[in-house]
Structure 1
């Protein structure tokens, strides 16, 4: 049985988060008068948190109408002016971070430590695109068909109105982080945050408007995908979705039918490979940070650990000890190491995965139980050994604080096991020899691979693309890809003096010989 320590337990919401403030944020939802309402609860206590209006398909359609009018004006705002708004948003996020931290904890049940990572990530994303957008969006000269005579330029135009569907697990990073580059590219955004964490997304939108963004350029709707998903797709010029692989497949089909682009970050079953030369204590500490952030409710967190024979026993001992020492809690401060699961559905999934594995012979090395004494949705950080393909969690994403450990004899075996999944979102490799670890990293089938880190190194490298392979999705966020995907490339080629037809008095056959000699000469000169 785990000896996991308990931190302080929150019984009331932060003082500033009054019903009046909650209702003000709820009032920002694009919904008609007399809309039906939905109640959300706090994961820490199960108490009512917000009463949100539900948007109808008609409300969504009207939001798109307003967005198209606003986008036409926003698209002609100079990039430098958009950047100034984004930098003001950056500053406001940092200045008001206590509100953001409280909201994220109240809605998702995560620790303040995990919530702060979202604050910093949002600020970094805003600053990066504010500083990079002019360079990325500026017209680019390209080599023309005929040297000197063909002047070719590539322009970038906004897609129009982007639909963003963001998840509950990282309610600030995923809501603001995907809207920021779309807005900087000159688009309007109609967004559906998950209902459970809608207040955090609404807070971010409200702050962006305070920073100077015109009201209708970024709008929020609330409702189930089964109710308003069709309207969100129907109005989209581009779709940005983060969520389950099953939903992502349907969105990809619908986007393909409409011939609009889509970027999809979907599920994962991420692996961490610990090499024989790894520093065991550092790797064990890294595994705790890799497996249990936001109670494992993180797309890039680790659910599978592959350990070299040589360090297996020492690593397991160190990892179990560190896991059992973790402090669980619901305090609105930085005291807890791990918080609550967010929804009853996630608690049920975690419980069923662990119970199924144990019933089929898996061994619990740490955790393995719910903790209702701390709150209705708490579950202990759990380590399992002896997991086999007969068990559900062997190859299905748990999305909770559960990791299974496996032993390997050779690096080739470790790579094969790590890659034996249809997913390919994130991976981690640990070893003292950095060059050798990077060679292993290049062999892993994942969009991001971190060496001697869990996920933050790649995620935080905002200038580099982030996204999944295989069943983990399509497209990339971050870097140039994260902004340019929200644009249409247009090539303008100006032909000067003479075109491609033979000059007057020159026969086509003679002209073909002249062009052939020109092509041979350009090849000899090394021209592209």
Structure 2
């Protein structure tokens, strides 16, 4: 592994100099974190030219060489883990501790290692003495990776690692809210990757549109809102790009009447409030049977009241601010509407407008109607509606009523019963007695308007390749 000796200080210093870039502020304090370069469509074309030059040799290198490079990249990430976590915490707002910044950097190296280690051999489809047919998986060419602001480093790796493993070059377009952390991550990765193979272009919507429509780009991977996903589909249509879209979710959790409220409370809390609720596959609406409704509300409130929220660089905090003002306004509006409708605020709902930063307190809302905007709209923040139900059929119907289906969960000590209920829920993944627990070995993707295509595991690798049948 070739690591630049000065990089430890350079990564932190690189986000401090103005250099005529766009100012990026800490959402917890309002202080300036650094300045992001303002790339444009011409910079994107330069990245495409570099990728075109670098990709053929990378494709010819084979799986063993590419896997070794990903393992070296994981080593490089681990060598700079603390610097990367500091940048991430300052720019995104998430605390260093808990399932937050350091956790995210650890996930980056874990997914790099997983992508390197998953076997993918040619598959024999028919071999009957007369016909032999095999399916092979060839590189696509150039992959465009458009990432979000909530898990900017981790999701970039989710896109980059399998694309590189399958022999592609990658152009990364980070969110305009969190470019610095992704640029730092790409800088670390490029200490061990061939020049030109991985490039980050930090630009605005025009760059994203140009990447989605560029004729030399064979595939787009996108994680973000359903509205933006639809725009990418339209931009990619003329060149008939392959797409993997992980879009909005409004994940339902169903607590069955035999569940132990105290035993599941912490799992429910982190399912909903990981990354301060800013996670596509977070638990965003909770359906609880009337027999244990009050007990679950009480147990969740007890857990929520013990979770410290504050500036991410404070080692004591496990919850941070909303990343941007627009998201803060959405959460504030939805909770206010719920309060006005007569819903009961168990905890939170009273932001301190005197403190700096986009902090919205951990909020639990009970006795709320299933048609309330806080239930129907994806809040993407620290406010969880808890809906009472009488029958499992009613709970399943409410869970399936929306046009999204990224994830869901069922909570019960009776695993057979929980799996039976899970099979009825319309979602790409249904977890049992947990929520949002992604695994690099297990495919992940959405149902309905939560997107299409799969990530992770061997299926994720296949979605970054062109299948070719050799018949004869």
Q: Give the TM-score range, shorter chain.
A: over 0.9
Q: 1:471: Cα distance to partner?
A: 1.1
Give the structure 1 partner of residue 412 of structure 2: 431
Q: Which residue of 2 aligns with 1:394?
A: 375
| Residues 234-267 of structure 1: CA deviation (Å, up to 9, x unaligned) | 1420010111101111212232332111010010
Q: In the aligned structure 2, how far is the partner of 1:20 from the partner of 1:307?
A: 49
Residue aligning to 2:142: 161
Q: Which residue of 1 aligns with 2:265?
A: 284
1:122 aligned counterpart, secondary structure: helix
1:337–1:222 CA distance, 2 compared to 1 (3 A): same
Q: 1:193 to 1:316 in 2, by over 3 A?
A: same
- 1:475 matched to 2:453: yes
Match of 1:514 in 2: none
Tell me the secondary structure at the aligned position of residue 110 of structure 1: coil
Seen in structure 2, the aligned counterparts of structure 1 residues 17 and 352 have a Cα distance that, compared at 3 Å, is farther
Look up the match of 2:85. Answer: 101
CA distance in 2 between counterparts of 1:67 and 1:226 reads: 20
Unaligned runs of 5+ in 2: 1-7
| Structure (1 or 2) with the larger CA radius of gyration | 1
Structure 2: distance between partners of 1:215 and 1:23: 25
Residue 466 (1) aligns with residue 444 (2): yes
Cα displacement (A) at 1:169: 0.3
Aligned to 2:107: 121
- Confirm or deny: 8 A CA contact 1:56 1:228 kept in the other structure: no
Whether contact under 8 Å (1:245, 1:472) holds in the other structure is yes
1:337 matched to which residue of 2? 318
The CA deviation at 1:228 is 4.4
SS of the aligned residue for 1:446 comes to coil
TM-score after normalising by structure 1: 0.84
SS of the residue corresponding to residue 489 of structure 1 reads strand
Count how many residue pairs are aligned between Structure 1 and Structure 2: 462
User: Is residue 144–residue 217 contact of structure 2 (8 Å, CA) maintained in 1?
Assistant: yes
Within 5 Å, give how 1:306-317 maps onto structure 2. Answer: 306-317=287-298
1:130 and 2:126 correspond: no
Match of 1:452 among 433, 454, 469: 433
* Structure 1 unaligned residues grouped into runs of 5+: 1-14, 28-35, 495-528
CA distance in structure 2 between the partners assigned to 1:422 and 1:255 by the alignment: 23
Q: Secondary structure at the match of 1:75?
A: helix
| Match in the other structure for 1:263 | 244
Aligned CA distance change for structure 1 residues 338 and 228 (closer, same or farther; 3 Å): closer
Matching residue of 1:70: 54
> Which residue in the other structure is 2:4 paired with?
none
- Aligned equivalents of 2:154 and 2:12: distance in 1? 25
Tell whether 2:21 aligns with 1:21: no
Aligned to 1:141: 124
> Measured at CA, do residues 154 and 327 of structure 1 come closer, stay the same or move farther in structure 2, by a change above 3 Å?
same
In 2 relative to 1, CA 91–373 (structure 1 residues): closer, same or farther, beyond 3 Å?
farther
> d(CA) in 2 for partners of 1:228 and 1:178?
15
CA distance in 2, matches of 1:367, 1:491: 57
* Change over 3 Å in CA distance of 1:50–1:281 after alignment to 2: same
Among 391, 403, 421, the residue aligned to 1:440: 421
**Cα displacement (A) at 1:184:** 0.5
CA displacement, residues 109-166 of structure 1 (integer Å, 9 cap, x when unaligned): 112221233123222211111111xx31x3332205xx31323222211110000000
After TM superposition, the score normalised by the length of structure 2 is 0.93
* Shift in alpha-carbon separation, 1:41–1:82, aligned structure 2, 3 A: same
Contact 2:63-2:165 within 8 A present in 1 as well: yes
**Cα pair distance change 1:129/1:18, threshold 3 Å:** closer
**Counterpart in 1 of 2:349?**
368
Distance 1:477 1:296, change over 3 A: same
SS at match of 2:129: coil
Matched, 1:244 2:230: no
Distance 2:387 2:24 in 1: 39
The CA distance in 2 between the partners of 1:19 and 1:489, in whole Å, is: 42
Q: 1:209 aligns with which of 154, 169, 190?
A: 190
The answer on whether the counterparts of 1:292 and 1:301 sit within 8 Å (CA) in structure 2 is yes
Shift in CA distance, 346/87, structure 1 to aligned 2, threshold 3 Å: same
* Whole-Å separation in 2 of the counterparts to 1:232 and 1:425: 23
Report the alpha carbon displacement of residue 227 of structure 1 after superposing the two structures with TM.
4.8
Please give the alpha-carbon distance, in whole angstroms, between the structure 2 residues aligned to 1:98 and 1:334.
13
For 1:491, the equivalent position in structure 2 comes to: 469
- Displacement of 1:391 in angstroms is 3.4
Are 1:109 and 1:342, in contact at CA under 8 Å, matched by a contact in 2?
Answer: yes
- Which position in structure 1 is the counterpart of 2:179? 198
Give the C-alpha shift of residue 370 in structure 1: 2.0
2:277 counterpart residue number: 296
CA contact (8 A) 1:371 1:377 kept: no
